[in-house]
Structure 1
Amino acid sequence: MIDQLDSNILQVLSTYKGLIFDMDGTLIDSMPAHLDAWKVTAEHYHFPFDRTWLNGLGGMPGEAIVELINDKYDVNLLPIEVSEFRMDVFERFENNTGLVAITNQILNHFYGLKKLAVGTGSPKLSAMHLLKEAGILAKLDAVVTANDVQLHKPHPDTFLLAASNIDLPANTCIVFEDTTLGMQAAHRAGMDCFMVDDNQLTLHPCS
């Protein structure tokens, strides 16, 4: 219930007009399934699997991650092919995903009171499916996915477009994220950021 949330958090959030949430690892506990899919992909395409490193890239589109894998391990994988393979594997695991309690409590509390959006690095089809299955999609005023911007996190474009789509200035919105890349994107967009870790929130102001 919302009364389990720190009153200080609610007081902070009361000063913003819009709340923008990352999806994977922030609203939906899908990162373990994503990482398991990367493990299968690594085994299939014969590149090293570094779970901690890949977890830190949450919010970045699959094709961009494959390009980093190519650089890191001096391999020559085809980003589109490997990313599509990984997403096919993920779809077999996605039924194991759940909701992140604290961010969903916040989203439900402010539903109808503030503008709510999602800014994710996941492909549009996957994101819309996950959000619908989780019962979140109908509560949102806007969804920005990897297909909607050319420059992805840590670039600010995802969150700037989300703010634009809910007709709010960026500095009146706050972002919820679970990765450093996502927080960097929020700050570059001129937005404060709550980091989510183990169902706890920590505020990281933009400046």
Structure 2
Amino acid sequence: MKKYILFDNDGVLVHTEPLYFKANIQALKKFFDVELEFEEYMKIMSEGTTVWQKALDKGFSFAEVEIARNKRNEYYQNFLKTENILIDGVKDVLKELSKDYKMGIVTTSRRVDFEIIHKNLGIVDFMDFVLCEEDYNFAKPHPEPYLKGLELFKAKKQEAIVVEDSTRGLTAAHKAGIECVIVKNEFTLTQDFSKASYFIETLKELKTILN
């Protein structure tokens, strides 16, 4: 029986992934005149590698990449503050689930970005904890983030379930030995989800699976 739910953030609870992609596109183009194709970006995200390798391969230095990375972060934060990132019905679903389950967020987002995203949404009110990039040594697809989530809950693997929308997150959950639900996201639709235990169209279907 499931007692704990570990949610990914971007693409599951909020609609932010296209904005991060757009910020990377702009920074690579502005500083290095490098194009970033969607399929290429999906591969990078799935493997947990870096978009900046394209610049390094062209001979740009790590110092130049760091300047571009900081600008990318500025672009992204501006998008977060000005674009609509809400996913319909998420807060209502979490309110209902909180009656029967303990919940946490496990994200690869930086804490500063996460706090901008969730400043006025009320989503974190339903969570026991939030793990961001700074809270573990190895990011997804490494299992450490989800294993740390289990540790905080003092939960057994079979008592928990992960909700993800990407291959990167699914791989992390699978390596951690935790069942994973994939929620449909148009942005990550082309990725390989063959290791997932369940598939849902929206979070509203999650309780049906848990029951």
Deviation at 1:194, TM superposition (A): 0.9
| 2:174 counterpart of 1:182 | no
Normalised by the length of structure 1, the TM-score is 0.78
Q: Where does residue 37 of structure 2 map in the other structure?
A: 50
Aligned-pair identity in percent equals 21
CA distance in structure 2 between the partners assigned to 1:169 and 1:21 by the alignment: 16
- Per the alignment, residue 132 of structure 1 pairs with 119
**Amino acid corresponding to residue 90 of structure 1 in structure 2:** Y
Change (3 A) 1:53 1:102: farther
Paired position in structure 2 for 1:100 = 87
Displacement, 1:68? 4.4
Deviations 1:95-122 (A, max 9, x none): 3132334655542321132111111111
Q: Deviations over 1:160-187 (max 9, x none)?
A: 1122222322331111111111100000
Structure 1 residue aligned with 2:50:
65
Q: CA deviation at 1:36?
A: 1.1
How big is the alpha-carbon RMSD for the aligned residues of Structure 1 and Structure 2?
2.7
Is the counterpart of residue 141 in structure 1 residue 128 in structure 2? yes
Contact 2:147 2:176 in 1 (8 A): yes
Who is 1:34 aligned against? Answer: 20
Whether 1:24 aligns to 2:16 is no
Q: 2:108 matched to 1:121?
A: yes
CA distance in 2, matches of 1:23, 1:58: 15
TM-score for the superposition, normalised by structure 2: 0.76
Question: Which of 74, 77, 90 does residue 91 from structure 1 map onto?
Answer: 77
Query: What letter corresponds to residue 135 of structure 2 in structure 1?
Result: D
Unaligned runs of 5+ in 2: 187-192, 199-211
Query: Cα–Cα, structure 1 residues 114 and 93, in superposed 2: closer, same or farther, change >3 Å?
Result: same
Match of 1:4 in 2: none
Distance 1:88 1:76, change over 3 A: same
Q: Tell me the amino acid that sits aligned with residue 20 of structure 2.
A: H
Cα pair 1:59 1:153 within 8 Å, conserved: no
